[in-house]
Structure 1
Amino acid sequence: MPPHTPSPAARLAVAGDLLALLRDTTTEPRPDTQLEALTLAVAADLPVLLWGEPGIGKTAALTQLATALDLPLTTVIASVHEPSDFSGLPVVGDDPAGQGIPMAPPDWAVRLVRAGRGLLFLDELSTAPPAVQAALLRLVLERRIGALRLPPGVRIVAAANPRASAADGWELSPPLANRFVHLQWTHDPEVVVRGLGGTWPHAILPRLDPARLHGAVEFARRAVCRFLTARPPLVHRLPSGETRRGGPWPSPRSWEMTLHLIAFATAAGSSRDVLSLLVRGTVGDGPGLELLASLDRMDLPDPEALLADPARAELPERGDLRQAVLDAVVAAVRARPEKSRWDAAWALLARAVDTGTPDVVVVPATTLATLRRADWDVPATIDRLAPAMELSRRADRAAVAAGTGR
């Protein structure tokens, strides 16, 4: 008898079994800064835009995020829709003159409203023409599609390719760009290799400490308001270049998002790297880095308290923060020059030499020396600074000699 030949349906069934085995992957808790930043922004209910080259894994990350957060995923390819798909289609009723013409929402919006929760994924945003981007403004900001309003349980995440790698790509319009937290999505070769082996990292919803909520809000408000008081030009700064306008830039809207993200990151105890991604992705690299530097200085000791008791002064471990404290102490003496305060400042510089690297005292010591009055005796503590000052002079002379070739 001839051997039995499997039917085409049976062969496809075996192929299906093989595909099922290939899709059978698992996840593991693994530190992932960009995934944590994405999850925190989603928890803060802020629209997020993932930027990355094609094939980098943006869609896969969103699918995995929806599964981890137990949110039904709704994917909408922005570039293949018309503006009316987001603003609503007019439906003429029996009495348009008396009742008006309602704007009917698309079916996916109706499903989200019925579910009451979900993750709305707007893919290929950079290939959506300007008219579609304009229609998306209301959806992203007000969460309205036609006559429907998305419920609070719906989160919005979008993805885009840079214009150079997008098919018929457009720059994102400034009004739309300013409504998102922008995250640059990159790949980690180690994560990819482990994932292809069957184990991917999974997203974890941040654990917000209930005891820290009020303090986190107070800290975030103080941080942003203090920074913008010192840097008022950064309250609103529209970039000059078209490409930069399609990314993160500072405005009252984006500063409000930044405030929310600082509060969430503080309540969750997130790392500095996660906060950096979020802040720079909201107001841009320049303003974001300035704000982060300002955050570092918010908890620095009061110069007046240090001058009042230099023997018990606790100075920061980090060199840049220690330098900032010593500079602030010298500035306080300059503002109110008195012999006792001048002596206390020298005592603080000596303590800094005893408890850390001596190079941070060179600049404040040089400045402090210029504040001496003729009738002020030189304190004995200066002798402890002499080695550091001499080392600095030698370094300066070596740099000059190297520059002149001698």
Structure 2
Amino acid sequence: MPTDTRQLDVAARLLALLGDTTVETRPDPQLEALMLAVVADLPVLLWGAPGIGKTAAMAQLATDLDLPLTTVIASVHEPSDFNGLPVVGDDPARQGVPMAPPDWAVHLVRAGRGLLFLDELSTAPPAVQAALLRLVLERRVGALRLPPGVRIVAAANPRSSAADAWELSAPLANRFVHLQWTYEHGVVVRGLGGTWPRASLPRLEAARLPEAVAFARRAVTTLLAARPTLVHRLPTSETQRGGPWPSPRSWEMALRLIAFATAAGTSRDVLSALVRGTVGDGPGLELLASLDRMDLPDPEDVLADPLGAALPERGDLRQAVLDGVVQAVRQRPERSRWEAAWLLLARAAEAGPPDLVVVPATTLAALRREEWDVPPAIEGLAGVLDLSRRADGAVARVAAAAGSGR
């Protein structure tokens, strides 16, 4: 018997050595997206195959945020565990029947803060999912309201890889920011070697908060004003309804995330994961494109300084700037503005792919008036488009069309 005890002590030391790992701060978009959503006080739902480290990530997240972790396996609970159990008092006719909360909720309220992890959400039956609605949205469990210091994160396995899984109900799914949780081969190898990644807390710049709120509101309202059908679009399939989709609630969540991401200066990859995980891939990509265009320079500012104005590096954004400048010239055609636009096109052709100037140059050539001389900037583009000939030809076609009465 003493020998067995000593062996258990040795085994305990071995287990301690195996658990002795370190962490390193390194860029990780999915960890950063999770951290930002949690800091923004929005419920997050992690989707991923079994065994890829969702639960371990929660333990690390709680440590990084200095929050006590409370894990609740949703699939093994009854609806009354979230709605509360009725407790009959001395005079229920006068005092009513209060709903007693479970012990984990009481502990969270007493602590005043914590990370509530709802695991195995996709294996919870519909009745339990319905009971979770109030917890996720209103932070209420029975008669208790969870304090503001509590954050909620859930995890689910796709139906194809979960035992006895249910599709998530549309009302519950629409209350979460959905993030796809994957693993990287290099991270796993390095982690098994004793070093796991750690995400740093988003650093919100106090001076940028008003600007971040204004930017987020303008981004969302501009898109929805132009695309009213995106305000609420309930998916037709049951599977899609269990994921992110656009509704006034989810757009409000997206607005909050854009404000937080702007104030923290997060990367586009992180913002993309958050936005698409809130309103869905299609609307999310439209919103991201709208955000990109909001950062484009004003065409009038570019025409005022065509040689010094900053041009975007991305080809699609550079094309948008060139098209915007040509459209501005079309709306107010003046010789100086027309020549300034040619200077910009020549500069764009020298600094980037020349094919980006084909469409705006053709349009600009057609705007030439007979008394306007061909500017020297066109000669610099002759090798690309032979624009001098195109400009003269466009004027001739316009004159011929006017003469024929068309």
Task: State the match for 2:392 in structure 1.
Answer: none
Map residues 67-78 of structure 1 onto 2, 5 A cutoff: 67-78=63-74
Task: State the match for 2:251 in structure 1.
Answer: 255
Indicate whether 1:292 and 2:292 are aligned.
no
Task: State the match for 1:160 in structure 2.
Answer: 156
Match of 2:133 among 123, 131, 137: 137
Deviates more, 1:40-49 or 1:348-357: 348-357
State the shift of 1:20 in Å. 1.5
State the shift of 1:9 in Å. 2.5
CA contact under 8 A between 1:48 and 1:180: conserved in structure 2?
A: yes
Q: Distance in 2 between matches of 1:244 and 1:51?
A: 13
Indicate whether 1:283 and 2:293 are aligned.
no
State the shift of 1:386 in Å. 2.0
Q: Distance in 2 between matches of 1:390 and 1:134?
A: 67
Map residues 227-266 of structure 1 onto 2, 5 A cutoff: 227-266=223-262
Q: Distance in 1 between matches of 2:18 and 2:304?
A: 69
| 1:180-231 residue CA offsets vs partner (Å, 9 max, x unmatched) | 1111000011111111111111232211122222221122112212222222
> What letter corresponds to residue 140 of structure 1 in structure 2?
V
User: Unpaired runs of 5+ in structure 2?
Assistant: 388-406
TM-score, structure 2 as length reference: 0.91
Identical-residue share of aligned pairs (%): 80
Indicate whether 1:86 and 2:74 are aligned.
no
Change (3 A) 1:390 1:77: farther
Map residues 303-382 of structure 1 onto 2, 5 A cutoff: 303-373=299-369, 376-382=372-378
Task: State the match for 2:15 in structure 1.
Answer: 19
| 1:162-187 residue CA offsets vs partner (Å, 9 max, x unmatched) | 00111000111111111111110000
Task: State the match for 1:385 in structure 2.
Answer: 381
TM-score, structure 1 as length reference: 0.91
Task: State the match for 1:212 in structure 2.
Answer: 208
Alignment: residue pair count? 387
Q: Distance in 1 between matches of 2:72 and 2:308?
A: 61
Partner SS, residue 381 of structure 1: helix
| 1:41-99 residue CA offsets vs partner (Å, 9 max, x unmatched) | 11111100000000010000001111121111000000011111111111111111111
Q: Distance in 1 between matches of 2:187 and 2:20?
A: 17
Partner SS, residue 114 of structure 2: strand
Partner SS, residue 310 of structure 1: coil
CA contact under 8 A between 2:24 and 2:198: conserved in structure 1?
A: yes
> What letter corresponds to residue 17 of structure 1 in structure 2?
R
Change (3 A) 1:12 1:314: closer
CA contact under 8 A between 1:77 and 1:124: conserved in structure 2?
A: yes
| 1:138-172 residue CA offsets vs partner (Å, 9 max, x unmatched) | 00000001110000000000000000111000111
State the shift of 1:340 in Å. 4.0
Partner SS, residue 89 of structure 2: coil
State the shift of 1:372 in Å. 3.8
Deviates more, 1:337-346 or 1:175-184: 337-346
CA contact under 8 A between 1:64 and 1:203: conserved in structure 2?
A: no
Indicate the RMSD between aligned Cα atoms, in angstroms.
1.8
CA contact under 8 A between 1:78 and 1:122: conserved in structure 2?
A: yes
Deviates more, 1:247-256 or 1:199-208: 199-208
Q: Distance in 2 between matches of 1:340 and 1:202?
A: 56
> What letter corresponds to residue 138 of structure 2 in structure 1?
E
> What letter corresponds to residue 354 of structure 1 in structure 2?
E
Change (3 A) 1:221 1:82: same
Match of 1:59 among 50, 55, 58: 55
Indicate whether 1:100 and 2:115 are aligned.
no
Partner SS, residue 154 of structure 1: strand
State the shift of 1:312 in Å. 3.7
Task: State the match for 1:396 in structure 2.
Answer: none
Match of 2:119 among 120, 123, 131: 123
Deviates more, 1:238-247 or 1:299-308: 299-308
> What letter corresponds to residue 197 of structure 2 in structure 1?
P
State the shift of 1:375 in Å. 5.4
CA contact under 8 A between 1:311 and 1:348: conserved in structure 2?
A: yes
